[in-house]
Amino acid sequence: MKVQFQQAGFPLGYILDGFEIHLYDRGREVATNVAAQRQVLTSDQAFDYVRTNYVGAHKGETLPAQAVMGNLPADLPAHLAAGEYRQPFYVRVSKDGLAQAAFADAACVTRIEDAYLESVVRNIRFKPALAGGEPVDGVATLNLSKLRL
């Protein structure tokens, strides 16, 4: 992709030292592979960065776990279109933001025994639950039909 930028009206002899272009999609900045200080991260490193910033930005707060990133399987839309996995369910999440298991109830008593769902959930990373700003084990409500990662 090529971007052409033109700006008129600068005084004669003005030297433009540089400029930046940021791309946004519905208010969220879109990451690109063109940046002066670009660093390539593995998905684990990216998640660690997101989790660390999240905890640092919510000092003293108490918040539930929340899905933040992951790789959803290509065939998930077909499952959803067939009426599968459309109801919300609950995921027990470790203080590290990793999914442990899916449950039919918020109390995490009735475990959902479904190998496909388990593989989907294991590939999702979560902002950990916070208690007084500290990461703790928690429960996230997850609705795959509304999930935007």
The string of pLDDT tens digits covering residues 89-99 is 999 999 999 99
> pTM here?
0.74
Average pLDDT over the chain, rounded to whole? 91
Lowest mean pLDDT of 21-35, 49-63, 120-134, name the range. Answer: 21-35
How much is the pLDDT for 26? 84
Going by C-alpha positions, the residue among 91, 95, 92 that lies closest to residue 135 is 95
The residue length of the chain stands at: 149
| Residues 67 and 149 sit within 8 Å (Cβ to Cβ) | yes
Q: Where does the pLDDT of residue 122 fall: very low under 50, low under 70, confident under 90, or very high at 90 and above?
A: very high
